[in-house]
């Protein structure tokens, strides 16, 4: 199959949407929706020619997967609606890995699941720039304590999580050896996650079980067991640094504190303000902090705003005039302090474009990193 038409369409859309997003902070639907239609139509035609129903529907399936992934980030308050549509368009263009990509999983060639790689490529490729920017910001502002926080704060959690993963592996191994239960990969991953969440609620038990299984592994395979554990720990610590940098950027670079008089329609709040038991509550946690709290507590309800009425929250469509008036009333009544977190605009279209280009001409960056780490 000739991927050249979809690649040309993706490059043209990437250039235009990156320019408009950086210049104005908005992405026009006329630059994205025609590309989605083109991608769906292209694969429908190719599938009809090949007599393959899966190929004919792959553009539509890819677009649906990209839309679902983008929608999740949209509701987490990370993306704007335009970013969701951009990812949907790229996903409609590349539901499969093209022949130019060298590092791809087998399922990315045979099944229309490549949109996952496009998203991960976008996140991974932009991380070095985010890290350098955040560290430079702290150095310029001479905030050594926050710089130290990025690398040292709660670093023990990486060790604990590595031990809980070891314990989960040990439990599943025991079930296979002693109970004859051999689960398929999907169920195994789900069970592993469930076990890790439970061990997170009973941390001392999880730590003890992890240490016990690690000792058993070292006894059986020697230094190789220690080396594998250290590799796991290094990966988890890298994720810890990533989330710390995201939190730092959110607090220091991507939000600003303003008065209610400075709020405008379409502004995106950096906090949630809602009613709980008749009281006004402010929640200034970011999406990643909520996700961490949900995983640590085992309560997915921690991802949502608590309370019967949400007055204003970090939705990607921004504040309405009615919400701003309500906030002004609450400030005038003395029920809210006249200080609000407002998100600064951050264009994601360029990073999505980079993710698409990597997916088109290099492959799955996450897979490549996994292969690289496994060879260490």
Domain ranges, ordered by start, for the chain: 4-125+348-374, 150-252, 255-343
Q: What is the pLDDT of residue 306?
A: 55
The verdict on pTM exceeding 0.75 is no
What pLDDT is recorded for position 171? 93
Question: In which residue ranges of the chain is pLDDT below 50?
Answer: none
CATH number for the domain formed by residue range(s) 4-125+348-374? 1.20.120.1220
b/e per residue, 16-33, with b = 16+ CB within 10 A? bbbebbeeeeebeeebbe
Per-residue confidence (pLDDT) for residue 35, from 0 to 100: 97
Write the CB contacts of 214 (distance below 8 Å, at least 6 apart in sequence): 163, 166, 225, 229
pLDDT of residue 206: 93
- The structure tokens 């009615």 sit at 322
pLDDT tens digit sequence for 180-189:
888 887 788 8
The length of the chain, given as a count of residues: 376
Per-residue pLDDT reduced to its tens digit, 349-374:
999 999 999 999 999 998 888 777 66
């Amino acid at each position: 199959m000739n991927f050249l038409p979809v690649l040309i369409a993706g490059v043209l859309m990437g250039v235009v949407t990156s320019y408009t997003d950086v210049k104005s902070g908005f992405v026009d639907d006329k630059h994205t929706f025609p590309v989605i239609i083109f991608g769906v139509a292209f694969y429908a035609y190719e599938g009809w020619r090949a007599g393959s129903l899966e190929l004919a529907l792959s553009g539509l399936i890819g677009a649906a997967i990209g839309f679902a992934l983008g929608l999740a980030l949209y509701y987490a308050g990370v993306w704007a609606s335009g970013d969701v549509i951009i990812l949907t368009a790229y996903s409609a263009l590349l539901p499969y890995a093209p022949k130019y990509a060298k590092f791809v999983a087998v399922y990315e060639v045979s099944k229309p699941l490549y949109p996952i790689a496009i998203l991960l490529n976008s996140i991974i490729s932009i991380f070095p720039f985010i890290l350098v920017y955040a560290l430079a910001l702290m150095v310029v502002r001479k905030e050594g304590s926050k710089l130290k926080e990025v690398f040292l704060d709660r670093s023990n959690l990486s060790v604990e999580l590595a031990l809980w993963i070891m314990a989960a592996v040990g439990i599943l191994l025991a079930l296979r050896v002693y109970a004859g239960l051999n689960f398929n990969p999907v169920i195994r991953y789900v069970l592993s996650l469930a076990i890790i969440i439970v061990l997170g609620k009973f941390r001392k038990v999880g730590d003890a079980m992890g240490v016990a299984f690690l000792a058993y592994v070292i006894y059986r395979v020697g230094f190789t067991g220690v080396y594998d554990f250290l590799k796991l720990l290094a990966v988890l610590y890298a994720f810890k640094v990533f989330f710390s940098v995201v939190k730092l950027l959110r607090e220091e670079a991507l939000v600003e504190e303003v008065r209610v008089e400075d709020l405008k329609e379409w502004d995106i709040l950096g906090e949630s303000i809602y009613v709980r038991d008749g009281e006004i509550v402010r929640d200034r946690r970011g999406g990643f902090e909520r996700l961490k709290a949900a995983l640590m507590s085992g309560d997915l309800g921690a991802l949502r705003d608590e309370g019967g009425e949400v007055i204003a929250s970090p939705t990607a469509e921004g504040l309405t005039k009615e919400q701003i008036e309500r906030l002004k009333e609450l400030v005038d009544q003395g029920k809210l302090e006249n200080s609000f977190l407002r998100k600064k605009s951050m264009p994601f279209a360029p990073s999505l474009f980079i993710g698409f280009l990597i997916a088109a001409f290099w492959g799955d960056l996450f897979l490549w990193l996994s292969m690289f780490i496994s060879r260490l």
